[in-house]
Amino acid sequence: MGEQPAKRIDAHFIAAGKYHDIDYPRLEVLKLLAEHPHIRTTVACDYSGLERLDQCRFLVTYTCDLMPTEEQAKQLRSWLEAGGKWLALHGTNSILVFTEDGLVDAPENRPDVFDMLGTQFKAHPPIGPFEVEVVNKDHELTRGIDNFEVVDELYLSKTTAEIDTLMQTTFEGEATGFVDGQWDKTAVPILYTRDIGAGRIVYNTLGHCRGHYDLPGMQDFYPHKEMCAWNYDVYYDLLRRSIGWAMRED
């Protein structure tokens, strides 16, 4: 046997929310964490029990339309300011409300959360291919990765605080079905970091995932599974690099 790491690292993973196959990314992220035998992970389905973070080096979230309470957001911010690391994936920055005419709105009623995350989801066009540009080629999360094309749900977000964009794309056109449906040509962050006190957030908007049974009350059987970035080696590379970053003590 090879030499074992000397010290355990604790992590917390919140995997929950609507309109997505949460089970798949929950399993995949846990398998990536399990590549490091000294990481011990607790898994939650909401933001309760954040006292657990006091023992954790990092937090991972894969959610959609799931917000912490105001008190939980204060706990998160205090933990970050003290040096916590948060790997936020895909829909972590989303609040979704259906209007009377069937459009999806993204209300801006949680500035405490969106100032912390640095972005808020506003809309997405239909799933399709887009080019991801590596704008910072000398960062540990991107070094050696070339621009690539991916088929995914392109998250069009409002920037709500200062972020450091590592990867981006550009979009111009229509996000069908959303209140914020028309978009002039704009740069869209795909992977970015945000510093909060002594802590840091790494946000990766890729990774949409929907199975056959993930729209209860809307569609009993969704005919075409959507795996998006989970089909691509580069996405797993980015996740592994992000976990490596989160594990370090600095």
pLDDT value, residue 3: 81
214 inside domain? yes
In a domain, 235, yes or no: yes
User: 211: closest CA among 14, 13, 59, 26?
Assistant: 26
The predicted structure's pLDDT at residue 4: 87
Within a domain: residue 147? no
- Which residue range is the domain that position 196 belongs to? 9-121+156-167+189-247
Give the other-Cβ count within 10 Å of 174's Cβ: 13
Answer yes or no: is 200 within a domain.
yes
Q: Is residue 151 part of a domain?
A: no
Residue carrying structure tokens 């969106």: 114
Say if residues 204 and 90 touch (Cβ distance below 8 Å). yes
CATH code of 37's domain? 3.40.50
Is 205 inside any structural domain? yes
Q: Is 101 a member of any domain? A: yes
Dihedral sign for Cα atoms in the order 107, 110, 113, 118: positive
The pLDDT value given to residue 1: 56
> What is the model's pLDDT at position 113?
98
How many separate domains does the chain show? 1
Q: Give pLDDT tens digits along the chain (250 positions).
A: 568 888 999 999 999 999 999 999 999 999 999 999 999 999 999 999 999 999 999 999 999 999 999 999 999 999 999 999 999 999 999 999 999 999 999 999 999 999 999 999 999 999 999 999 999 999 999 999 999 999 999 999 999 999 999 999 999 999 999 999 999 999 999 999 999 999 999 999 999 999 999 999 999 999 999 999 999 999 999 999 999 999 999 8
Whether residue 131 is contained in a domain is answered as no
